[in-house]
Amino acid sequence: MTGVKLNFINQSNDTNNSEIVIFQKNAATNFDELAVAWKVIKYCGQGMNHPFSFPIQNYVSASDSWGNYSPQLAAQNGQLFSVEQSPSGNILKNAGSATSSKEMQILNGLHTGAINANIYKDGRLLATKTGVAPQQKVAFEFNPTLWIGAVSQILEGSLINSAIISQVNTELSLLGIASADIVMTGGGPGKASTGFNFTLQNIVYA
């Protein structure tokens, strides 16, 4: 299975042209780090739909304090990657097994200079850890769930501030799903309006 085929459908009463943000949270941290806006759906009016895929495959990449970016390397849970100095300069390479089979781990193996560790999915930034010091290791773990909410003025690939994250309280489980519609209802003008509601419908299991 390569991923989940999803189709966002706007059946809401929204008249504000809200933006829909979709992201994952890093389960490997015990504090609330800022999530990244993995996908932002814009201008999807009432009755419109927006198909997209959520692949299984993750990729790791790193950048160093000199502004160099590594290629994206395919990554599985249980793998360790390390940024190291080579005769040609700094490189990111597979460094064997992680200390947890549920995590992708990235080590700053340099003697000097911090790195940023990034996870990509479908070519878009999914999660990031900045300012990783030399000999420090960071971990990424993702549950098979998506967080989704209606927001305003957010950029795809940017960090979501904690005030916005606290407004997004819908978590959709993709476990065992091959395809599904994500249907947005609710919203609308005036005092009678309700909050937005997101549900999975027409689910096809893998």
Per-residue pLDDT of 97-112, as tens digits, reads 999 999 999 999 999 9
Which fold, 3-55+143-205? Immunoglobulin-like (2.60.40)
pTM value surpassing 0.85: yes
Residue 162 has pLDDT above 80, yes or no: yes
pLDDT mean over 163-175: 93
Q: For the segment 25-71, what is each residue's pLDDT rounded down to a tens digit?
A: 999 987 667 899 999 999 999 999 999 999 999 999 999 999 999 99
pLDDT for 8 equals 98
CA–CA separation, 82 and 97 (whole Å): 11
Nearest alpha-carbon partner for 23 in 130, 139, 128: 128
**Residue for token digits 């995590």?**
103
* Coil, helix or strand at residue 47: coil
Domain ranges of the chain: 3-55+143-205, 58-140
**Band of pLDDT at residue 178, cut at 50, 70 and 90:** very high
pLDDT exceeds cutoff 80 at 192 = no
pLDDT attached to residue 194: 84
Q: Are 69 and 61 in contact (CB under 8 A)?
A: yes
Whether 206 shows a pLDDT value over 90: the answer reads yes
